[in-house]
């Protein structure tokens, strides 16, 4: 029934059907049913004119029309009429369709009128009211709130405005019965959460008797959207757990223990310990780990990665650590080599720049198994790289690393290696639960002890000299500073010039030979970039002028100042990432956001947020709020966010509840085979398109 083409509905001819398809993608009855109203108007009662007061918004009233006159000339030409009931009068006014009104509205007759009240010189008036002749049945008003639907100009022109669509929906609902919209949620959930039935929800979302009924219908349908999505994600996860094999890291051996007891340079934080435990559980049970590890900048993800790699080595497996840039891969390599220098662990670096001879050696060591660990860039997933027995792949700072790319890593081993994706990009819980819901998820929400919070301030250009003076005094105390320029223009050339201008400017403040400046940008050849970066890391230069290429991962503990030029041009998460480059040592650190003098509201919000908190999660939430989930990169196409009614930001609580219920349900009955859960199973099986279920059984 609901699959019927929309032209079969009474009142929809071929012309309207065509437009509904083109303009609103309404092809079938069920599409119309899921075209939800964006508001309702209340015509359930008829007010007396005397009840109209300054606070009145929309009103429905009735009375006799008289004094129809046409006033004004040209653009102020209008038709004005009085509507009078026993209690008073109100003015009705039309600027358009005057001719039609003149012909069809007659003085001395009774009319029902609805519209928005405005006041002119203290007198109440309704402009362009809806008006219809009074008939006895309307005396009580409508017995439901009247829906208003999203529509388009083209549809309006053909007699389908926001309210007229409601007539079609009404006709449809009158045609169908509860069996056309069968329940899909198990009974105990309906009962526990006191939800409306699916049929009721669809009726009331369109035609509720009152606000409460509408709210209940909306809640039920939002819950259903989240719940169904969570069940699907849960099934995907379960399926992977069931059908994937993983290397078993059963023992904690020499490598791990020796490192842990002798060379670990600090006590692990509680969060690091917890995450390690989660990883141990994941890697010990014979199924492939797919875990997303989110930890704010500086929370210490690298050491977790290393310990996991040692665990792999203890069990006879090789591991790789992949980073998005040459700089970061190199830094990882140097850092890990230093930590492992007294251990019999073989670790190498493989990037696009690795020289042929070294590359040949690394590749052969990987193939024969004498190399325990390799860090590198994307070069690692290139074809000639063959591992003897890769058991673990760690991907750093790249939560967007796609499924396809991950699969490439898997293809390198008979048994798929465990995958740990690490990111400092804070992902709001709600997004993690939806867009990344098929991954297991760990959070490190604790920074190592002794970190001093970074002081963040906002300064406009007028203070540039003062800012430079401040940097100078910090540098004279032995610290280092970053000065970041944004990529703002469409053109790379302009960005480059912008950076060069900035560089000259900085140089004027900090002349050689007292001060030395490193500059890094995307146009430089990799080796120049590398050299400049290294000089800064070693402390040979005090200032790093750069574009956002240093955004991720880079660790220079002595750098205590981060200046961000044109900070208003950056997104929140990027600002937070950049700020995370400082505050890594024992010195008090500062982040200075330089902006123009005029800021739009969004930019002001972003800057304010940055100045008020260091908490990556709060920033992520704000970011999501300001940009909306559709704009968060990489999630747009995921489909996990395509909810019709529900919104992962404003309906967070419903999402949490749906997730909990879905998890409970699957933990008790992962085949959805109990009598009560069959309706859900059938729903998933029959839902439009292929569902995960079809892949499962």
Place of tokens 């900048």: 297
Ramachandran angles phi, psi of 375, nearest 5°: -110, 155
Tell the smallest beta-carbon distance from residue 393 to Mg ion (Å).
16
Q: Which of 303, 421, 481, 624 binds ligand ADP (CB under 6 A)?
A: 303
Rounded distance between C-alpha atoms, residue 374 and residue 340, angstroms = 13
Q: Which of 297, 443, 506, 594 binds ligand ADP (CB under 6 A)?
A: 297
Rounded distance between C-alpha atoms, residue 466 and residue 459, angstroms = 10
Q: Does 560 bind ligand ADP (CB under 6 A)?
A: no
Distant-in-sequence, close-in-space partners of 168: CB < 8 Å, separation ≥ 6: 9, 11, 12, 32, 160
Q: Which of 147, 186, 284, 298 binds ligand ADP (CB under 6 A)?
A: 298
Q: Which of 63, 115, 295, 616 binds ligand ADP (CB under 6 A)?
A: 295
Q: Are 107 and 115 in contact (CB under 8 A)?
A: no
389 versus 555: smaller Cβ distance to ligand ADP? 555
Place of tokens 């001819």: 13
Q: Does 398 bind ligand ADP (CB under 6 A)?
A: no
- Residue 194 tokens, joined: 């006191």
553 versus 629: smaller Cβ distance to Mg ion? 553
Rounded distance between C-alpha atoms, residue 692 and residue 239, angstroms = 9
Q: Which of 555, 558, 638, 682 binds ligand ADP (CB under 6 A)?
A: 555
Measured CA to CA in angstroms, residue 541 lies from 499, 514, 586, 654 at distances of 18, 10, 20, 53
- Residue 547 tokens, joined: 């574009």
Place of tokens 């549809």: 155
Q: Which of 299, 456, 532, 541 binds ligand ADP (CB under 6 A)?
A: 299
Task: Choose among Mg ion, ligand ADP, none what residue 448 binds, the Cβ cut-off being 5 to 8 Å by kind.
Answer: ligand ADP
Task: Choose among Mg ion, ligand ADP, none what residue 176 binds, the Cβ cut-off being 5 to 8 Å by kind.
Answer: none
Q: Which of 300, 391, 437, 502 binds ligand ADP (CB under 6 A)?
A: 300
Task: Choose among ligand ADP, Mg ion, none what residue 230 binds, the Cβ cut-off being 5 to 8 Å by kind.
Answer: none
Q: Does 119 bind ligand ADP (CB under 6 A)?
A: no
Task: Choose among ligand ADP, Mg ion, none what residue 583 binds, the Cβ cut-off being 5 to 8 Å by kind.
Answer: none
Q: Are 410 and 417 in contact (CB under 8 A)?
A: yes
Rounded distance between C-alpha atoms, residue 645 and residue 641, angstroms = 11
Q: How do beta strands 110-120 and 123-127 pair?
A: antiparallel
Which stretch in 167-175, 471-479, 550-558, 635-643 sits in contact with Mg ion by CB under 5 A?
550-558
Ramachandran angles phi, psi of 335, nearest 5°: -65, -45
Which stretch in 192-200, 545-553, 584-592, 646-654 sits in contact with Mg ion by CB under 5 A?
545-553
3-state secondary structure of 247: coil
User: Using the 8-state DSSP alphabet, how is residue 259 labeled?
Assistant: I
Closest residue to bound ligand ADP by CB? 300
409-419 per-residue burial string, b: 16 or more CB within 10 A, e: under 16:
beebbebbbbb
Which stretch in 51-59, 268-276, 568-576, 645-653 sits in contact with ligand ADP by CB under 6 A?
268-276
Task: Choose among ligand ADP, Mg ion, none what residue 297 binds, the Cβ cut-off being 5 to 8 Å by kind.
Answer: ligand ADP
Tell the smallest beta-carbon distance from residue 275 to ligand ADP (Å).
11
Tell the smallest beta-carbon distance from residue 638 to Mg ion (Å).
25
Which stretch in 12-20, 82-90, 294-302, 367-375 sits in contact with ligand ADP by CB under 6 A?
294-302
Q: What part of residues 272-291 is at the interface with ligand ADP (CB under 6 A)?
A: 272
Q: Does 129 bind ligand ADP (CB under 6 A)?
A: no
Neighbouring C-beta atoms of residue 443, cutoff 10 Å: 19
Contact string 420-439 vs ligand ADP (x = CB under 6 A)? ----x---------------
Q: What part of residues 501-530 is at the interface with Mg ion (CB under 5 A)?
A: none
Q: What part of residues 581-610 is at the interface with ligand ADP (CB under 6 A)?
A: 584
Residue 549 Ramachandran class (φ > 0 left, ψ -120 to 50 alpha, else beta): alpha
Task: Choose among ligand ADP, Mg ion, none what residue 303 binds, the Cβ cut-off being 5 to 8 Å by kind.
Answer: ligand ADP
Please report the DSSP string for 656-692 in residue order: HHHHHHHHHHHHH-TT--SGGGHHHHHHHHHSSS--H
Which stretch in 67-75, 292-300, 311-319, 354-362 sits in contact with ligand ADP by CB under 6 A?
292-300
Number of residues that bind Mg ion (CB under 5 A): 1
Distant-in-sequence, close-in-space partners of 514: CB < 8 Å, separation ≥ 6: none
Q: Which of 553, 580, 616, 629 binds Mg ion (CB under 5 A)?
A: 553
User: Using the 8-state DSSP alphabet, how is residue 57 labeled?
Assistant: -
- Residue 580 tokens, joined: 């995370």
129 versus 324: smaller Cβ distance to Mg ion? 324
Which stretch in 282-290, 487-495, 546-554, 631-639 sits in contact with Mg ion by CB under 5 A?
546-554
Task: Choose among Mg ion, ligand ADP, none what residue 483 binds, the Cβ cut-off being 5 to 8 Å by kind.
Answer: none
Place of tokens 């020499």: 254
120 versus 266: smaller Cβ distance to ligand ADP? 266
218 versus 329: smaller Cβ distance to ligand ADP? 329
Tell the smallest beta-carbon distance from residue 558 to ligand ADP (Å).
11
Tell the smallest beta-carbon distance from residue 381 to ligand ADP (Å).
21
Which of 562, 649, 556, 657 shows the shortest CA–CA distance to 185? Answer: 657
327 versus 665: smaller Cβ distance to ligand ADP? 327
431 versus 447: smaller Cβ distance to ligand ADP? 447
Ramachandran angles phi, psi of 563, nearest 5°: -105, 130
- Residue 318 tokens, joined: 């090789």
Residue 601: burial class (beta carbons within 10 Å; 0-12, 13-18, 19+) = exposed
Q: Are 44 and 213 in contact (CB under 8 A)?
A: no
Tell the smallest beta-carbon distance from residue 272 to ligand ADP (Å).
6
Q: Does 486 bind Mg ion (CB under 5 A)?
A: no
Q: Are 445 and 265 in contact (CB under 8 A)?
A: no
What's the half-sphere exposure (Cβ side, CA atoms, 13 Å) at 638? 24
147 versus 426: smaller Cβ distance to ligand ADP? 426
Q: Which of 96, 140, 266, 497 binds ligand ADP (CB under 6 A)?
A: 266
Please report the DSSP string for 356-397 in residue order: HHHHHHHHHHHHHT---EEEESGGGGSTT---SSEEEEEEES
- Please give the helix or strand (H or E) that residue 65 lies within, else none: strand 58-71
Q: Does 101 bind ligand ADP (CB under 6 A)?
A: no
Which residues in this chain contact Mg ion in the complex, by CB under 5 A?
553
Residues forming contacts to ligand ADP in the complex (CB under 6 A) are: 266, 268-269, 272, 295, 297-303, 424, 448, 555, 584
């Amino acid at each position: 029934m609901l699959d019927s083409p929309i032209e079969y509905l009474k009142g929809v001819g071929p012309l309207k059907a065509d437009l509904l398809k083109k303009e609103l993608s309404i092809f079938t009855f069920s599409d119309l049913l899921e075209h939800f109203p964006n508001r309702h108007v209340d015509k359930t009662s008829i007010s007396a004119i005397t009840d109209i007061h300054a606070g009145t918004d929309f009103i429905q009233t009735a009375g006799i029309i008289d004094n129809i006159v046409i006033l004004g000339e040209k653009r102020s030409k209008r038709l004005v009429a009085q509507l009078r009931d026993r209690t008073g009068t109100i003015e009705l006014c039309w600027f358009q369709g005057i001719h039609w009104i003149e012909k069809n509205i007659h003085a001395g007759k009774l009319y029902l009128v609805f519209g928005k009240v405005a006041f002119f010189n203290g007198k109440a008036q309704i402009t362009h009211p809806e008006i219809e002749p009074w008939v006895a049945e309307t005396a009580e008003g409508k017995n439901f709130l009247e829906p208003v639907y999203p529509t388009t100009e083209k549809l309006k022109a053909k007699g389908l405005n926001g309210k007229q669509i409601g007539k079609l929906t009404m006709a449809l609902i009158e045609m169908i019965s509860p069996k056309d919209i069968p329940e899909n949620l198990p009974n105990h959930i309906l009962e526990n959460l006191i939800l409306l039935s699916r049929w009721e929800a669809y009726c009331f979302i369109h035609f509720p008797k009152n606000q409460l009924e509408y709210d209940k219908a909306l809640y039920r349908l939002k819950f259903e959207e989240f719940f169904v999505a969570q069940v699907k994600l849960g099934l995907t996860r379960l399926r992977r757990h069931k059908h994937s094999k993983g290397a078993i890291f059963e023992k904690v051996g020499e490598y791990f223990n020796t490192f842990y007891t002798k060379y670990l340079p600090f006590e692990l934080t509680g969060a690091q310990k917890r995450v390690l435990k989660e990883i141990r559980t994941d890697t010990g049970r014979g199924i492939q780990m797919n875990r997303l590890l989110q930890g704010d900048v500086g929370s210490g993800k690298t050491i977790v990665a290393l310990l996991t790699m040692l665990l792999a080595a203890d069990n006879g497996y090789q591991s790789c650590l992949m980073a998005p840039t040459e700089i970061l891969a190199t830094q990882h390599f140097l850092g890990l080599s230093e930590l492992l220098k007294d251990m019999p662990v073989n670790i190498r670096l493989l990037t696009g720049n690795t020289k042929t001879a070294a590359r040949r050696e690394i590749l052969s060591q990987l193939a024969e198994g004498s190399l325990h660990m390799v860090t590198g860039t994307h070069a690692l997933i290139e074809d000639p790289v063959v591992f003897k027995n890769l058991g673990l792949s760690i991907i750093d700072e790249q939560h967007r690393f796609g499924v396809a790319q991950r699969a490439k890593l898997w293809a390198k081993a008979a048994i798929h290696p465990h995958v740990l994706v690490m990111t400092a990009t804070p992902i709001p819980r709600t997004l993690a639960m939806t867009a990344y819901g098929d991954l297991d998820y760990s959070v490190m929400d604790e920074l190592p002890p002794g970190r001093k919070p970074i002081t963040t301030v906002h300064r406009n250009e007028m203070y540039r000299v003062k800012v430079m003076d401040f940097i100078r005094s910090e540098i004279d105390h032995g610290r280092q500073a970053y000065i970041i320029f944004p990529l703002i223009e469409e053109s790379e050339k302009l960005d480059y010039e912008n950076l060069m201008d900035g560089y000259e400017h900085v140089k004027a403040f900090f002349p050689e030979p007292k001060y030395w400046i490193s500059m890094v940008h995307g146009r430089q050849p990799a080796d120049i970039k590398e050299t400049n970066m290294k000089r800064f890391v070693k402390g040979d230069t005090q200032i790093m002028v750069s574009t956002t290429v240093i955004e991720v991962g880079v660790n220079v503990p002595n750098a205590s100042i981060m200046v961000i030029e044109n900070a208003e041009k950056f997104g929140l998460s990027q600002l937070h990432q950049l700020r995370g480059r400082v505050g890594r040592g024992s010195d008090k650190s500062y982040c200075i956001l330089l902006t123009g003098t005029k800021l739009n509201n969004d930019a002001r919000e972003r800057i304010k947020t940055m100045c008020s908190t260091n908490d990556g999660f709060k920033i992520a939430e704000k970011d999501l709020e300001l940009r909306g989930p559709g704009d968060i990169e990489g999630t747009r196409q995921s489909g996990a966010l395509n909810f019709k009614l529900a919104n992962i930001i404003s309906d967070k609580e419903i999402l949490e509840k749906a997730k909990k219920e879905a998890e409970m349900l699957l933990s008790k009955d992962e085949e959805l085979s109990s009598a009560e859960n069959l309706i859900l199973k059938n729903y998933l099986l029959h839902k439009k398109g292929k569902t995960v279920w079809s892949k499962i059984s």
